[in-house]
Amino acid sequence: MMSSKGDGALPSVMQCVVCYGPNDYRMETRPIPVIGDDEVLVKVLAVGICAGDAKCFSGAPYFWGSDTWPQYVQPPVIPGHEFVGEVVKLGKDAKAKHNLEVGDYAVSENIVPCWECRYCKRGSYNMCIPHDVYGFHQNSFGAMCQYMKYPSKAINHKISKSIPPWKAAFIEPLACSVHAVELGKIEFDDVVVVSGCGPLGLGMIAAAKLKCPKLLIAMDLYDWKLDIAKKCGADVTLNPATCNAIENVKKLTDGYGCDVYIEATGNPASVKQGLQMIARQGTFVEYSVFGKETTVDWTVISDAKELTIRGGHCSPYTYPVAIRMIENDQIPLEDIITHRLPMKEFLKGIELVNKSAESIKIVLLPWEN
């Protein structure tokens, strides 16, 4: 089954975080993964805590599902889908399949497609029906551990060792941000609003800036995050808690409103705000997970404004762009990655993400004490 190449003196067990249910995550010792002929074993160098991970920890809707989507988390499972690893073992066919060598740094895309369903065959592999996203399903163990495997069907990318691992862990969220920006179809004369300056929102601002829109506006409830949004490329920043954001956007656009509104907060108020400030025939991109159902006046979407609504999920075909942006220092990760913690402090990290006031991106380091 397994090639001896790169075996070295690997341990037989590892430390990892295991999700058993809402508010029930535990540090445990587990055997390191066994790989097959075309699989890759990596030593996890860094893993980010996604807002989705933090909401998962808090419970619904990830565990309980809803009328419109099934239960997503399948405990017990090791969470974590934002990561970078160092290749330590290759199955006998894995080198040729994945174009990797022992010692390479590599990231694996967050979803492992089946390559057989109608969506995979159309090229929309982010919509794959089995939908094995690392860290949520029992057969897709994640990266909050010291070793993990990249399975046969995974999409892997070798990265330069010039990227520090704590920065490389941001490739996944940045790739998601790039996908959201691509869904917005931004043109040179567009006024673009990004609502929310968390990790995804700041990545969206940096990516949208590369599209050279006429005006790029960032919105958030924390002024210190808006300061970082300026470093990412925002031309104007607005805090809806201290100003009338809708009125300000209308003033900046001769009363028309923004052409593209990208929602990255997961807050129902941001959705309603966006529908009010967006121009007729504008494009509304929703890239968030909500803790509960959100209700809006659909007449605004149809009869009043004839809007294009685009939902975004995962990051198809955008990892190479995200990797280049980080390699070229096109996003201020020193400001965005606010905390680097040893993995044993994962509960502190989750708490910081859920509070949001004092952090942006939290990265866990599995090998630090």
Mean per-residue pLDDT, 318-326: 98
Residue 242 has pLDDT above 50, yes or no: yes
Helix ranges restricted to H, the chain = 51-58, 94-98, 118-122, 165-168, 171-183, 199-209, 223-232, 245-252, 268-277, 298-299, 319-327, 333-336, 346-355
Q: What is the pTM of this model?
A: 0.95
| Domain annotation covers residue 3 | no
Q: Using an 8 Å Cβ cutoff, are 226 and 334 in contact?
A: no
Q: Based on the structure, what is the number of domains in the chain?
A: 2
Q: Is 246 in contact with 271 (CB distance < 8 Å)?
A: no
Claim to verify: residue 298 and residue 351 sit in the same structural domain: no
Which of 2-11, 104-113, 146-155, 355-364 is least confident?
Answer: 2-11
Q: According to the model, what pLDDT value does residue 66 have? A: 63
Residue 316 lies in a domain: no
Q: At what angle do helices 319-327 and 171-183 cross, to 10 degrees?
A: 120
Do 304 and 220 lie in one domain? The reply is yes
Please compute the mean of the pLDDT values over residues 249-271 and round it to a whole number. Answer: 97
Higher pLDDT, 292 or 66: 292
Residues 212 and 352 reside in one and the same domain: no
pLDDT of 313 higher than 60: yes
**Average of per-residue pLDDT values in the chain:** 94
User: What does the alpha-carbon distance between residue 314 and residue 181 come to, in Å, rounded to a whole number?
Assistant: 12
What is the length of the chain?
A: 369
Going by pLDDT thresholds of 50, 70 and 90, the confidence category of residue 49 is very high
Q: Would you say residue 264 lies in a domain?
A: yes
State whether 207 and 150 are in the same domain. no
Q: What is the pLDDT of residue 138?
A: 67
Please tell me whether residues 184 and 254 are part of one structural domain: yes
Per-residue pLDDT band at 64 (split at 50, 70, 90): low
Residue 131 has what pLDDT? 85
Tell me the C-alpha distance between 80 and 116, whole Å.
25
Same domain, 197 and 340: no
Exposure string for 117-131, b = 16+ CB within 10 A, e = fewer:
bebbeeeebbbbebb
Question: What does the pLDDT average to over 259-277?
Answer: 96
Q: Over 50: is that where the pLDDT of 4 sits?
A: no
HSE of 346, CA atoms in CB hemisphere, 13 A: 30
* CA-wise closest residue to 42 among 166, 144, 149, 151: 149
**In this structure, are 242 and 299 located in the same domain?**
yes
Question: Could you tell me if 129 and 188 lie in one domain?
Answer: no
Query: Domain check: are 348 and 307 in the same one?
Result: no
pLDDT, mean of residues 261-274:
96
CA distances, 328 to each of 211, 251, 298, 325 (Å): 16, 35, 42, 5
DSSP sequence for 200-260: HHHHHHHHHHTT--SEEEEE-S-HHHHHHHHHHT-SEEE-TTTS-HHHHHHHHTTTS-EEE
Q: Examine the pLDDT at 73 and tell me if it is beyond 90.
A: no
Rounded Cα distance between 314 and 200, Å, is 11
Which token pair is 154? 């995974």
Structure tokens given for 48? 């980010």
Residues 273 and 158 occupy one common structural domain: no
226 Cα distance to chain centroid: 20
| Residue-wise pLDDT tens digits, 116-137 | 999 999 999 999 998 889 998 7
CA atoms within 13 A on the CB side of 70: 6
319 domain residue, yes or no = no
Q: How would residue 290 be classed by pLDDT, with cut points 50, 70 and 90?
A: confident
Predicted confidence (pLDDT) at residue 3 exceeds the cutoff of 60: no
Higher pLDDT, 237 or 290: 237
User: Could you give phi then psi for residue 259, rounded to 5 degrees?
Assistant: -85, -35
Residues 184 and 148 in one domain: no
Range of the domain at 361: 13-169+332-365
Residue 96 maps to which CATH number? 3.90.180.10
Reading the block at residue 231, the tokens are: 């470093």
